[in-house]
Amino acid sequence: MAAKPVKKNPRLASGRKRARQNVKLNAANTSLRSKYRTAIKNVEKAVAAGDKTKAAELFGKAQSVLDVIADKGIFHKNKAARDKSRMAAKVKALALAA
């Protein structure tokens, strides 16, 4: 397996600052991506368990999380809308099944 290429440190002060900022932004974006995916997983687990009230409650919270993260540009707005739509259909099917 090939080794990772060694990254050179930027020479210019502006480049060094940009590298520092990129580390912080990458950490923040990674955290938000994780939060997004966790929100979706929690709703899907509740749906799989057949818990209507919990699924509906978690879906409400997940909608908020998805909207905030899409607004920040971490995920595309259409992806967030698609994920919300699919979750809503699952929650609604669960409510109608009973």
Q: Which of 43, 38, 63 is nearest to 53 (CA)?
A: 43
More confident position, 16 or 95: 16
Q: If you write DSSP's letter for every residue of 25-67 in order, what string do you get? A: HHHHHHHHHHHHHHHHHHHHHHHHHT-HHHHHHHHHHHHHHHH
Q: Which of 97, 94, 96 is nearest to 51 (CA)?
A: 94
What's the confidence (pLDDT) of residue 78? 97
Contacts of 35 (CB under 8 A, 6+ apart): 65, 69
Residue 36 dihedral angles phi and psi, to the nearest 5°: -60, -50
- Write down the pTM of the prediction: 0.81
What's the confidence (pLDDT) of residue 98? 65
What is the arithmetic mean of pLDDT over 24-30? 95
What's the confidence (pLDDT) of residue 4? 79
Per residue in 43-98, pLDDT (tens digit) is 999 999 999 999 999 999 999 999 999 999 999 999 999 999 999 999 999 988 86
